[in-house]
Amino acid sequence: MRISGLLFLVLAMSLSFACREPKKVLTEREKQMVQESVMEDLPVGENIYPVNAVFDDKVVLLAYGLPKNAVKPGEAVTLSLYWKALAPVDGDYKIFLHLDSTKNQRKMFDHHAVNNLYPVANWKPGEVVKDDVLLQIDSGFPQAPARIWVGLFDEKAWRDQKKNVRMQVKNPGAGKPDRENRLMVAPIMVGDSQLKNVAVAKAVTAPTVDGDLSEAQWAQAFASAGGLVALDGKPLAGDEKSEVGLLYDDQNLYVAFRIGDKDVQCQYTDTTKRDQTLWSGGEKKASDVVEIFMDPDGDGLNYVEIQVAPTGAVFDAKFDSHRTPKWEAASASYNIDLKHGVKVNGTLNDASPDVGYTVEVAIPWSSLPGLQGVPEAGKPYKANFYRLSGSGTFAGTLVPVGNDFHDLTLAATVTFAK
């Protein structure tokens, strides 16, 4: 069952205020715990990730620490939040933390810092506060990708006036804000699976970019990336079975799709027009398309979207940050020197049964933001791949991340073998 946004919020808020209040008088041991959590500078560590998000010009989330990106239901993992006060904070602000599953379930971890011993109102400007939060995952929590969101709300305003007053995210830094002044700081996988990693082999010879995927090296590339799944994570099978493969050389990233489709449709037949709304289906509301999203350095900024339709029509756009600027401006200012080939196994825009279609794309490294060549080994490279069928009523993806295709935080991490 899909929980509506309003019900989701009401349930979340009803739970968020059941947490313990901060202690007024601390024991000597508790005072020592607070002292141990306050420091002058942000520590440096292997599992500490910079954020530098500013809330109301009063508080900065400098970084977070997370020792692993996967946890099983019934287990726990400690998230460390490193805060810095810029100015005194008026009001009874409290830290909220939401663990949101892509299957529309939320678990709350609202609290005052340092195990409810050091509320925000007591923070001194300039000091760094390490706030460890034990994320205990219920046994019934969905086994699916999830996102960790944080922020600060005025507990007194809610308690006395039922007003949900939150500090505004003035600068998200490396985080991703939403319209509710929450900041997405980290993805995490709940369940036995890890977040998906795809190892990309170097092409033996440069593929001929014509949509014919019979070259032997594509077979291994498809096996490495794996098949596409529905947005709920269920495999695409039978007539809808689809897969994606990746190869590279010193000049290009090569992406290939093999799409199963009984009725290949696309209303965008004029391939001389760049950046048409291929995903919308046009006036007849029946079009197929494949989509590529890539964030070369994995920071959520300067990412690209590329779409190719069965007719060979192309859309490409570069976004500075999440859906910003709007797609019209993002596509108008960015045109990749793209090579692509498409083959339809059947008859396009015809009532007779089809088998599907294939797409092959060569993307020059030099056309991707921040890259001049193959990414360095070990560097994070986030990517996700989709197919849309009909008017967007059916979709498949390499990694299910929810309904926002532009959110790459849970997308695959792609690495390149030298």
Res 357: pLDDT:
96
pLDDT digits (tens, 9 = 90+) for 159-186: 999 899 999 999 998 888 888 999 999 8
Count of structural domains within the chain = 2
Claim to verify: residue 177 and residue 297 sit in the same structural domain: no
Do 29 and 137 fall into the same domain? yes
Q: Are residues 169 and 207 in the same domain?
A: no
Do residues 271 and 376 both lie within one domain? yes
Residues 182 and 211 in one domain: no
Same domain, 159 and 222: no
Residues 230 and 347 both lie in one domain: yes
Contacts of 153 (CB under 8 A, 6+ apart): 16, 93, 94, 96, 110, 164, 165, 166, 167
Residue that is last in its domain, among 190, 216, 241: 190
Ranges of residues in the chain whose predicted pLDDT is under 50 = 1-19, 391
Residues 186 and 215 reside in one and the same domain: no
Task: Assess whether 17 and 81 both reside in one domain.
Answer: yes
| Per-residue pLDDT tens digits for 90-148 | 889 999 999 999 888 999 999 999 999 999 999 999 999 999 999 999 999 998 889 99
What pLDDT is recorded for position 321? 86
pTM over 0.75: no
Q: Which domain holds residue 99?
A: 5-190
Tokens of 372: 């001049």
Model pLDDT, residue 11: 39
Do both 107 and 215 map to the same domain? no
Domain CATH code at residue 151: 2.60.40.770
- Looking at the structure, do residues 27 and 164 belong to the same domain, yes or no? yes
Query: Among the three residues 190, 219, 245, which one is the final residue of a domain in this structure?
Result: 190
| Domain-ending residue, one of 174, 190, 206 | 190
CATH of the domain at 312: 2.60.40.1190
Same domain, 178 and 217: no
